[in-house]
Structure 1
Amino acid sequence: MGILTISGHVRLWHVYVFAFVFGAAAALDAPVRQTFVGELVGNEHLPNAVALNSTSFVVGQMIGPAVAGVVSRR
């Protein structure tokens, strides 16, 4: 998407396709990740492991755009 944008060839249908593909991947990724975490830690620590996994994912979503904003200002 970045290459299409920089080259000036991006069209609206490109955005739709990328949004669909990444949305479908995220819809499959989240349940698989939660199941994998559950298999790793067992029932005793499952609530803490799920919370920690979700927190790390959300923190990454918050920090990533902030870092990109700082980098793009330079």
Structure 2
Amino acid sequence: MYVETVVQVNERDTYQATVRTRTTTAAGRPGIDALVRFSPTGWLTIKPLAGGRVSVISASEVLDVTDIERVQAYDE
């Protein structure tokens, strides 16, 4: 998995980013704009910005994470 290194990423913070997975790329779909946490270890927790459920995705399924920006707080 490639993670853009514009910011120092840690597992405690929440980020807004674009996530591309092997499944979406194979289907010809664009990346997912989402709120992202790099936890639990070996997994990404994502919540699409367009709405939808929180998902936990194996890091091995993720091709890249780009356009990363840390967010301070998110009100659901």
TM-score, structure 2 normalization: 0.22
Q: Which has the higher helix share?
A: 1
Q: Which has the higher contact order (CA 8 A, sep 6+)?
A: 2
Q: Which has the higher strand share?
A: 2
Larger Rg: 1
TM-score, structure 1 normalization: 0.22
